[in-house]
Amino acid sequence: MEHLFIYGPLGPGGLNEHVIANIDGEWSSAYLRGRLENTDHGDEHNFPGLVVDNTGQVIRGHVFSSAQLPEHWDALDDFEGPIYQRTVTTVILDDNRELEAYVYALPQ
């Protein structure tokens, strides 16, 4: 898989953008449906976690597409930590095309 949907601080201009800055790729605006929940995992930032839910609200974000992503999944999994699971989901690009992408989400 060469696509990652990002809804939080890994995205462009985000606090953790540096984590993927060394990976060549392209950004596209997109959304999926779900809900954001408080993760309360103890750090000072306390970013919300996503629960994918096709009947949920629109969650806007970006798709990062790169042929290099498969080489970085292990490092990204480690960065995201055990509370998030890398899951395949369908996202909608701004031109209304559907795309299968990974997303780091809370377990359902």
Task: Give the tens place of pLDDT for each residue, 80-94.
Answer: 988 899 999 999 999
The predicted structure's pLDDT at residue 88: 97
Q: How many CA atoms lie within 13 A of 19 on its CB side?
A: 20
**9 has pLDDT over 90:** no
CA 74/CA 102 separation, integer angstroms:
13
Q: Is 47 exposed, middle or buried (0-12, 13-18, 19+ CB in 10 A)?
A: middle
- Calculate the CA dihedral of residues 42, 48, 54, 55 and round it to 10 degrees: 110
Task: Give the tens place of pLDDT for each residue, 24-81.
Answer: 999 999 999 999 988 765 455 567 889 999 999 999 999 999 999 999 999 999 999 8
The predicted structure's pLDDT at residue 2: 96
The fold for domain 3-105 equals: Hypothetical upf0131 protein ytfp (3.10.490)
Task: Note whether 52 and 34 are within 8 A (CB).
Answer: yes
The predicted structure's pLDDT at residue 34: 96
Q: For residue 24, give both structure tokens.
A: 């060549």
The predicted structure's pLDDT at residue 45: 54
